[in-house]
């Protein structure tokens, strides 16, 4: 056993270093690398990626994982048991997927995000279509390779992002959303609210938005010695350790709220990973336990804290100080209502809290059909538009505002989107539990968000991947997943 | 032979990819990585670095290089011959330096630049001293390991940066500088010129300096699809291919010229590498052939083009447009004289053209003494100050403005500084040859610097490392190195 542990830990050390390099390279490609260099950097990526696969599939490493898994209960360290369990699950990829296909797919998705970015910029789905077809095709094959008695079809992919959450569970959840929430949404969004032209037509220079972004990082105690805020086409969080977790945003001069709420959202993700116990940095247990839990943190920061009246009663004056002309005569009440307006919109990441889960529903249904083969990629833009029309009540005119708006599929992420809606539901449940122990509104009014960070660190963040989503929910809320909190929260807020 | 060629090329491909990752990591560490993450990233670097050493020292790879070198003339491709010759020379490091020492040194210098940066910031030489002592000690050992009949002592290090340029050659060069130039410098710098308070005490906001930097990148055709301009403690250029060569600067609000001339300087380096023939990207021949030639390009761009009257007669109006208040009533003539003022100063990178080689002379003499052991690191600050006093006529009061000002030693670069002065001399010689073929002043007046880039591409840049410095000088100037052009140029300009 000692020997197997050593083999595992030595390879783990290497894999961590190689992952770090690839992580840095992706970060660079998304935020800074000169355009003309992307092919050259892909070539280098290819070499490292192949070497990494070599390590992961080394028979000695595979044997070590298998032996350790067979004797899991003999391992004294509970965390190490979890790590071996996860590693054993990951072996599927090595053992069941042909090496060439696996490597080719890695490169495809690595290049994919740049092809997508160009297609989105040019509003040209055809530019992206061949790449997306290959990605979907690989995912269909992947499903076949990995299917078991318990996991079939799309479930194989869903399980990768949220353990034990498949079509059955998601259908139940989304049906509740459709039945309990959809009629309410329809009613709320049928009323048209009018806002000051200053808010709807104002221009907010990037420099001012950057200054407010900096201010927000202080308010949320996003530690700048461990983080970076940069720009990219699509906001994201990217971290490798409790001492380095970076975020991006995108500034639109005609949309002040976009950068504000994407920064708060990504800080929710980043603070989760920064507050992982540092002992996990050198293990495979650093990071979020699942995408659903990860998204619960970002949603809670963005919506439940960031869009609260208490929050802006403290911080609106700072925003007015930065944009005195643009916000002249715009009251706090009007600004608060504006950021919480519910309407039928096209862009998911700018959608309001109330309609958000319907945007996700569109993607969930499309993925089900794409993976099963019922829907072809070439027909995707049309189907996208018709589902948007059906669920959100609005049809995109441009693909850049429709099917091309999200980066996820270009990176091969199928089964990922549903966790966004799940995250909002988790968020409502965790928030309600936290609010029983500490007075969240008072904390926000005291501009003391580090106390919220501290509660979340203790009940959610510190554990990294060492607990399952189910275990986290039990620790934080003392009950299993219950979507009613989410529906109730939305109805209360938007009534 | 076929087999050896294949082994060599396969390993080369890997080494390129690993170098790329390490290059990116260094770039990130210097420009962006959160401070708290530096230890974590060093750990990862260590793993990759060890793997890279493994590849470089693999007996099969070593054998391939040795066999190819033995049969050099059988290789059809002349470029490939040069590459093998260089690789064979590099083998010294693998064969003569003990592995543990080599690896430990790599890590030491990788961390060194951050310790230096902190020491400089805090004006605390003691913080840096232990690191520098280890670095000097390693270089002394390195000299012993690599000494041959022809190369002894400090020459071993000098030869690494400029082939066949040792103490004998540098002494001849620096003696000429001392005899022909120094008295002239003394005379010129004894007169005190007075400049408008607007230039000497003005504050130039960073945003404006950034805008002018952007403008300069256009003027010099530094292609932004292949380059990046960012900030770091000390300006530098960092490139890996003809499609990705990045530069940095540092903005000082109280010193407008600092960012302007460091940007032009680094663009000289960057354009050299970007104009290498792209066929070298996948070989070991990409880059500058020597530091002296590299520096000749940056010096020519900075001083001979960037500090010319012709240049500012075209571009000064743009600068005034950006800083209308600060430059009100400052004439072009006064601004031109200000940027070309010769004075006894402390900071090398901000030193004027005339006194510059004396700053280098100080470092050259200190290195000679450090490597021979005549000077101890603990006595370095004192000796620095006294040599500055002797040659430049000014004594630093703070180590941050003295011995701590340069990054080079922290990265282990001994034998590097002298190439800076050599570069200025090369620049004068190449400029004079270029000016015989094209009318440089007219080109500058026509804001057509891409024509200068084109001439340099044809006569210097395209060759990468495939020609020696001597060969480049012959191609570009049709004669061997002749420092008289440099002395004459300076006397003409500063008379």
User: Closest partner residue to A227 among B34, B41, B244, by Cβ?
Assistant: B34
DSSP state of A252: B
pLDDT at A113: 87
Q: Is the pLDDT of residue B103 over 90?
A: no
User: Closest partner residue to A40 among B14, B207, B244, by Cβ?
Assistant: B244
Residue B61 contacts residue B7 (beta carbons within 8 Å): yes
Catalytic residue IDs of B = 266
Nearest CA in chain B to A49: B17
- Separation of CA B437 from chain center: 27
Taking an 8 Å cut-off on Cβ atoms, the answer to whether A241 and B37 are in contact is yes
| Best residue of A11, A16, A21, A280 to probe chain B, by most B CBs closer than 10 Å | A21
| Diameter of chain A measured on Cα atoms | 71
- Collapsing DSSP states into helix, strand and coil, what is residue A229? strand
Taking an 8 Å cut-off on Cβ atoms, the answer to whether B37 and A246 are in contact is no
User: Closest partner residue to B37 among A17, A51, A226, by Cβ?
Assistant: A226
Closest to A414 (Cα-Cα) out of A141, A225, A194, A71: A141
Catalytic residue IDs of A = 266
Burial of A202 (0-12, 13-18, 19+ CB in 10 A): middle
User: Parallel, antiparallel, or unpaired: how do β-strands B229-231 and B237-241 relate?
Assistant: unpaired
- In chain A, the percentage of residues whose pLDDT exceeds 90 is 86
Mean pLDDT lowest among A355-369, B102-116, B246-260, B292-306: B102-116
> pLDDT tens string for chain A (495 positions)?
899 999 999 999 999 999 999 999 999 999 999 999 999 999 999 999 999 999 999 999 999 999 999 999 999 899 999 999 999 999 998 889 998 998 889 889 988 988 999 999 999 999 999 999 999 999 999 999 999 998 999 999 999 999 889 999 899 899 988 888 888 998 898 888 888 888 988 999 999 999 999 999 999 999 999 999 999 988 999 999 999 999 999 999 999 999 999 999 999 999 999 999 999 999 999 999 999 999 999 999 999 999 999 999 999 999 999 999 999 999 999 999 999 999 999 999 888 999 999 999 999 999 999 999 999 999 999 999 999 998 888 999 999 999 999 999 999 999 999 999 999 999 999 999 999 999 999 999 999 999 999 999 999 999 999 999 999 999 999 999 999 999 999 999 998
What is the model's pTM? 0.88
| Best residue of B12, B17, B27, B210 to probe chain A, by most A CBs closer than 10 Å | B17
Closest Cα in chain B, distance from residue A41 (Å): 8
Cα separations (Å) of A221 from A4, A225, B291?
41, 11, 45
| Best residue of A51, A241, A243, A274 to probe chain B, by most B CBs closer than 10 Å | A243
pLDDT at B190: 87
Tokens for B208?
A: 């404006």
- In chain B, the percentage of residues whose pLDDT exceeds 70 is 100
Nearest CA in chain A to B242: A37
Nearest CA in chain B to A278: B40
CA dist., res. A460 & res. A287, Å (int): 11
- Collapsing DSSP states into helix, strand and coil, what is residue A118? helix
B393 pLDDT band (50/70/90 cuts)? Answer: confident
DSSP state of B162: S
HSE, CB side, 13 Å, CA atoms: give it for residue A296. Answer: 28
Cα separations (Å) of A108 from A103, A113, A121, A136?
9, 9, 20, 11
pLDDT at A194: 86
What residues of A are in contact with residue B24 (Cβ under 8 Å)? 21, 24-25, 28
Closest Cα in chain A, distance from residue B132 (Å): 26
Which residue is it, tokens 């993450």?
A: B37
Taking an 8 Å cut-off on Cβ atoms, the answer to whether B226 and A36 are in contact is yes
Closest Cα in chain B, distance from residue A228 (Å): 7
pLDDT at B170: 93
Nearest CA in chain A to B10: A47
Residue B136 contacts residue B149 (beta carbons within 8 Å): no
CA dist., res. B233 & res. B229, Å (int): 13
Taking an 8 Å cut-off on Cβ atoms, the answer to whether B34 and A281 are in contact is no
Interface of A with B (CB under 8 A): 13-14, 16-18, 20-21, 24-25, 27-28, 32-37, 39-41, 43-48, 51, 207, 223-228, 230, 240-241, 243-244, 246, 281-282
Cα separations (Å) of A358 from A44, A355, A387, A391?
41, 5, 10, 6
CA dist., res. B60 & res. A265, Å (int): 52
HSE, CB side, 13 Å, CA atoms: give it for residue B115. Answer: 22
Domain locations along chain B: 2-96, 168-494
Residue A204 contacts residue A323 (beta carbons within 8 Å): yes
Q: Is the pLDDT of residue B122 over 90?
A: yes
ipTM of this predicted structure? 0.87
Q: Is the pLDDT of residue B311 over 90?
A: yes
3-state helix, strand, coil in chain B (%, to 5): 70, 5, 25
pLDDT at B82: 97
Taking an 8 Å cut-off on Cβ atoms, the answer to whether B21 and A16 are in contact is no
pLDDT digits (tens, 9 = 90+) for B282-301: 999 999 999 999 999 999 99
A-B C-beta contacts closer than 8 Å = 107
CA dist., res. B326 & res. B342, Å (int): 23
| Best residue of B26, B30, B41 to probe chain A, by most A CBs closer than 10 Å | B41
Closest to A306 (Cα-Cα) out of A360, A237, A356, A257: A257
pLDDT at A211: 97
Closest to B431 (Cα-Cα) out of B266, B300, B312: B300
Burial of A358 (0-12, 13-18, 19+ CB in 10 A): buried
Helices and strands of chain B, counted as H and E runs: 22, 3
Nearest CA in chain B to A22: B21
Closest Cα in chain A, distance from residue B342 (Å): 38
Closest Cα in chain A, distance from residue B16 (Å): 7
pLDDT at A374: 97
Closest Cα in chain A, distance from residue B176 (Å): 43
Nearest CA in chain A to B43: A17
User: Closest partner residue to B13 among A34, A41, A47, by Cβ?
Assistant: A47
Q: Is the pLDDT of residue B3 over 90?
A: yes
Taking an 8 Å cut-off on Cβ atoms, the answer to whether A41 and B207 are in contact is no
Tokens for B254?
A: 């109280």
Taking an 8 Å cut-off on Cβ atoms, the answer to whether A225 and B47 are in contact is no
Other C-beta atoms closer than 10 Å to the C-beta of B397 total 11
pLDDT at A452: 98
Interface of B with A (CB under 8 A): 13-14, 16-18, 20-21, 24-25, 28, 32-37, 39-41, 43-48, 51, 207, 223-228, 230, 240-241, 243-244, 246, 281-282
**B142-148 long-range contacts, CB within 8 A, separation 24+:** B142/B97, B143/B371, B145/B96, B145/B97, B146/B92, B146/B93, B146/B96, B146/B97
Taking an 8 Å cut-off on Cβ atoms, the answer to whether B40 and A243 are in contact is yes
CA dist., res. A184 & res. A181, Å (int): 5
User: Closest partner residue to B47 among A17, A46, A47, by Cβ?
Assistant: A17
CA dist., res. B277 & res. B289, Å (int): 13
Taking an 8 Å cut-off on Cβ atoms, the answer to whether B241 and A21 are in contact is no
CA dist., res. A184 & res. A353, Å (int): 13
Nearest CA in chain A to B14: A47
Tokens for B52?
A: 């890279």
User: Closest partner residue to B47 among A14, A28, A32, by Cβ?
Assistant: A14
How many residues in total does chain A contain? 495
Closest Cα in chain A, distance from residue B326 (Å): 22
pLDDT at B445: 98
Give helix A469-477 / helix A418-437 axis angle, nearest 10°: 20
Taking an 8 Å cut-off on Cβ atoms, the answer to whether A244 and B36 are in contact is yes
**Is the backbone of residue B164 left (phi > 0), alpha (psi -120 to 50) or beta?**
left
| Residue A244 phi, psi (nearest 5) | -160, 95
B106 pLDDT band (50/70/90 cuts)? Answer: confident
Nearest CA in chain B to A13: B47
How many residues in total does chain B contain? 495
Q: Could you tell me the fold of the domain covering B168-494? A: 1.10.1370
Closest Cα in chain B, distance from residue A186 (Å): 46
Residue A441 contacts residue A308 (beta carbons within 8 Å): yes
Tokens for A21?
A: 């390099």
Taking an 8 Å cut-off on Cβ atoms, the answer to whether A40 and B241 are in contact is yes
Residue A232 contacts residue A250 (beta carbons within 8 Å): yes
Which residue is it, tokens 């003539």?
A: B333
pLDDT at A164: 83
- Collapsing DSSP states into helix, strand and coil, what is residue A248? strand
Residue B348 contacts residue B226 (beta carbons within 8 Å): no
The dihedral built from the CA positions of residue A250, A256, A261 and A263, taken in this order, carries a sign that is positive
Q: Is the pLDDT of residue B13 over 90?
A: yes
């Amino acid at each position: 056993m000692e020997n197997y542990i050593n083999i595992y830990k030595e390879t783990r050390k290497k894999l961590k270093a190689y992952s770090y390099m690839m992580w840095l390279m992706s970060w660079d490609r998304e935020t800074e690398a000169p355009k003309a260099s992307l092919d050259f950097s892909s070539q280098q990526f290819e070499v490292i990626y192949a070497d990494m696969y070599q390590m992961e599939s080394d028979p000695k490493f595979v044997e070590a994982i298998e032996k350790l898994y067979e004797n899991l209960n003999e391992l004294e360290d509970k965390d190490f048991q979890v790590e071996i369990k996860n590693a054993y699950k990951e072996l599927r990829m090595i053992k069941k997927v042909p090496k060439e296909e696996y490597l080719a797919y890695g490169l495809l998705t690595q290049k994919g995000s740049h092809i997508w970015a160009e297609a989105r910029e040019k509003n040209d789905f055809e530019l992206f279509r061949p790449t997306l077809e290959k990605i979907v095709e690989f995912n269909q094959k992947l499903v076949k390779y990995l299917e078991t008695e318990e996991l079939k079809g799309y479930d194989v992919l869903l399980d990768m992002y949220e353990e034990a959450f498949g079509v059955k569970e998601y259908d139940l959840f989304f049906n509740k959303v459709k039945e309990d929430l959809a009629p309410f949404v329809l009613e709320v969004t049928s009323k048209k609210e009018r806002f000051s032209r200053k808010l709807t037509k104002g221009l907010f220079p990037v420099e001012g938005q950057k200054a407010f972004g900096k201010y927000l990082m202080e308010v949320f105690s996003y530690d700048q010695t461990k983080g970076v805020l940069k720009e990219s086409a699509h906001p994201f969080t990217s971290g490798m350790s409790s001492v380095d977790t970076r975020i991006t945003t995108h500034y639109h001069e005609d949309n002040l709220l976009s950068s504000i709420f994407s920064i708060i959202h990504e800080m929710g993700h980043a603070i989760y990973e920064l507050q992982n116990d540092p002992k996990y940095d050198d293990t495979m247990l650093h990071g979020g336990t699942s995408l659903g839990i990860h998204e619960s943190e970002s949603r809670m920061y963005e919506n439940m804290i960031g869009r609260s009246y208490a929050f802006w009663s403290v911080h609106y004056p700072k925003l007015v100080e930065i944009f005195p002309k643009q916000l002249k005569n715009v009251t706090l009440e009007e600004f608060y209502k504006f950021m919480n307006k519910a309407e039928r919109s096209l862009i998911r990441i700018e959608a309001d809290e109330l309609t958000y889960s319907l945007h996700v529903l569109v993607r969930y249904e499309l993925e089900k059909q794409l993976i099963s083969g019922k829907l072809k990629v070439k027909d995707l833009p049309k189907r996208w538009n018709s589902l948007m029309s059906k669920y959100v009540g609005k049809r995109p005119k441009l693909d850049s505002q429709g099917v091309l708006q999200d980066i996820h599929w270009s990176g091969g992420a199928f089964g990922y989107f549903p966790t966004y809606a799940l995250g909002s539901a988790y968020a409502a449940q965790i928030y309600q539990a936290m609010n029983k122990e500490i007075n969240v509104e008072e904390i926000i009014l005291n501009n003391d968000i580090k106390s919220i960070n501290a509660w979340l660190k203790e009940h959610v963040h510190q554990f990294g991947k060492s607990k399952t989503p189910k275990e986290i929910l039990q620790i934080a809320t003392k009950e299993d997943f219950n979507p009613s909190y989410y529906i109730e929260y939305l109805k209360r807020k938007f009534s």
